[in-house]
């Protein structure tokens, strides 16, 4: 509110008609008075500890919008007054989203160590529901290519929602905080620190037991992310159970995209558990509900099918599927997807006996994973590279590589991959 934009009678009339308009009016008054009067501004700063309580009532204007997949309500009031009212609500939502987007980019321009202090030092900025949602979305978008950055971004959510942490805080805030904690744990997993990810999920489950969250999509998302950790730990039975829960939650909420992700990950569980026929069937089912806009899910489904076909020894079909979707991988312009494509090329090449191409593709994929900070994925690719080295008769340096992998997998608590490395090591002396 500018210095010359005074309150008018119509503002008060509007506040009587709509409770959310009253909150808007109070916020306008606060801005106006603090902006004009140094003494009011000084008193406001002295009440810093009470500011969150007051701002809770002012900053949160509940704006409902349809869940993905919901149809419009045929009983909506279409009178001119009702249409004008909905337009005001929509305009306010857009304003809040624009402001949150500006705040997001302002934070991302800062060094990670400066971001929390920036949030805490602000009088009213950096504390909205929209900003918290955008931080989680930004974490998800960066997780494949920069897990460390994704983690530092999602760790800002508790600071943004700090004013909601009272025991009587709103339900939506608890859901957002729980989602943020799950994404932080997932970033630790992607970065290769499986023990830390495990501890983070244990803490989150304890918090959910103490302060339950009722939002089905949030609970489904948490279960799906935890399932990814169980896949990495090779705890397939637990991962399968979590994904069944996640799929049910997404289905009940009408979230088709989330449901597709859960099915794709279930296919990954079945593949990793050496059940490739079931994995292929689930991946093919998932592919039938995907749409063009869901590019990452489409790429994950293709990856799952190629892997399953390879495990079934159907490498010609796997190569054909991979070549058929080359343009899909290239359109993604995503570094992680490019690495996965090279890895899949290596796996198919090793299956059809082209050891030189397999060695080249695995080496490239491993180096690129390391460059992204995805050291666990690099270790997994190193096992395939060891297989290629052995097939080519290149045993020089292979023993050292396998010994390092044994140590690495034991540290991460991944027993099955430890045994696979030991098995390869034992074959060197045959």
Look at residue 53 in the predicted model and tell me its pLDDT: 54
Q: Which domains does the chain have, with CATH numbers?
A: 1-61 (no CATH), 334-430 (1.25.40.10)
- Rounded CA gap, 289 and 281, in Å? 13
Read off the pLDDT of residues 396-410 as tens digits, 9 standing for 90 and up.
Answer: 778 888 888 888 888
Question: Nearest to residue 183, comparing CAs of 210, 158, 216?
Answer: 158
Question: Nearest to residue 220, comparing CAs of 265, 276, 169?
Answer: 265
Read off the pLDDT of residues 15-70 as tens digits, 9 standing for 90 and up.
Answer: 555 555 666 667 667 766 666 677 776 676 666 555 555 655 555 443 333 334 44
Look at residue 49 in the predicted model and tell me its pLDDT: 54
- Rounded CA gap, 406 and 159, in Å? 39
Look at residue 25 in the predicted model and tell me its pLDDT: 67
Look at residue 3 in the predicted model and tell me its pLDDT: 41
- Dihedral of alpha carbons 211, 262, 297, 384, sign: positive
Instruction: Please report, for residues 9, 220, 253, 386, 421, the alpha-carbon distance to residue 158 in angstroms, rounded to integers and kept in the order given.
Output: 39, 20, 25, 43, 40
- Rounded CA gap, 16 and 11, in Å? 9
Tokens of 404: 């390092």
Tokens of 413: 């608590």
Does the pTM exceed 0.85?
A: no
- Residue 245 sits at the vertex; the CA angle it makes with 241 and 247, to the nearest 5 degrees, is 115
pLDDT under 70: residue ranges of the chain: 1-25, 27-28, 31-36, 41-42, 44-90, 92, 166-168, 429-430
Look at residue 419 in the predicted model and tell me its pLDDT: 83
User: Under a CB-based contact definition with an 8 Å cutoff, are residues 32 and 1 in contact?
Assistant: yes
User: Under a CB-based contact definition with an 8 Å cutoff, are residues 169 and 212 in contact?
Assistant: no
């Amino acid at each position: 509110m500018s210095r010359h934009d005074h309150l008018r009678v119509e503002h008060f009339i509007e506040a009587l008609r709509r409770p959310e308009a009253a909150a808007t009016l109070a916020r306008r008054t606060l801005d106006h008075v603090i902006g004009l009067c140094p003494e009011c501004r000084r008193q406001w700063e002295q009440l810093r500890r009470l500011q969150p309580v007051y701002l809770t009532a002012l900053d949160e204007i509940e704006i409902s919008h349809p869940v993905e997949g919901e149809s419009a309500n045929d009983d909506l009031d279409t009178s001119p007054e009702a249409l004008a009212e909905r337009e005001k609500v929509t305009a306010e939502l857009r304003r809040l989203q624009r402001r949150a987007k500006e705040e997001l980019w302002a934070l991302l321009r800062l060094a990670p160590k400066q971001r929390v202090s920036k949030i805490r030092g602000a009088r009213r900025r950096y504390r909205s529901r929209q900003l918290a949602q955008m931080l989680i979305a930004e974490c998800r978008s960066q997780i494949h290519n920069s897990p460390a950055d994704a983690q530092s971004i999602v760790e800002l959510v508790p600071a943004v929602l700090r004013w909601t942490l009272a025991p009587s805080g709103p339900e939506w805030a608890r859901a957002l905080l729980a989602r943020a904690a799950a994404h932080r744990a997932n970033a630790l997993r992607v970065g290769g620190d499986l023990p830390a990810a495990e501890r983070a999920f244990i803490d989150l489950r304890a918090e959910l037991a103490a302060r339950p969250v009722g939002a089905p999509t949030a609970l489904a998302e948490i279960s799906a992310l935890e399932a990814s950790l169980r896949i990495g730990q090779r705890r397939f039975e637990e991962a399968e159970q979590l994904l069944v829960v996640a799929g049910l939650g997404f289905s009940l909420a009408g979230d088709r995209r989330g449901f597709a992700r859960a099915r794709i990950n279930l296919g990954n569980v079945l593949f990793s558990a050496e059940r490739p026929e079931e994995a292929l069937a689930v991946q093919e089912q998932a592919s039938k509900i995907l749409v063009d806009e869901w590019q990452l899910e489409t790429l994950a489904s293709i990856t799952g099918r190629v892997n399953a076909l390879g495990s079934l020894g159907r490498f010609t079909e796997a190569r054909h599927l991979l070549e058929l979707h080359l343009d899909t991988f290239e359109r993604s312009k995503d570094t992680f997807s490019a690495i996965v494509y090279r890895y899949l090329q290596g796996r198919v090449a090793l299956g059809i006996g082209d050891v030189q191409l397999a060695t080249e593709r695995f080496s490239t994929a491993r180096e690129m994973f390391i460059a992204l900070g995805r050291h666990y994925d690099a270790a997994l690719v190193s096992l395939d590279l060891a297989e290629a080295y052995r097939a080519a008769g290149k045993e020089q340096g292979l023993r050292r590589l396998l010994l390092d992998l044994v140590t690495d997998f034991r540290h991460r608590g991944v027993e099955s991959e430890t045994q696979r490395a030991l098995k390869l090591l034992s074959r060197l002396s045959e």
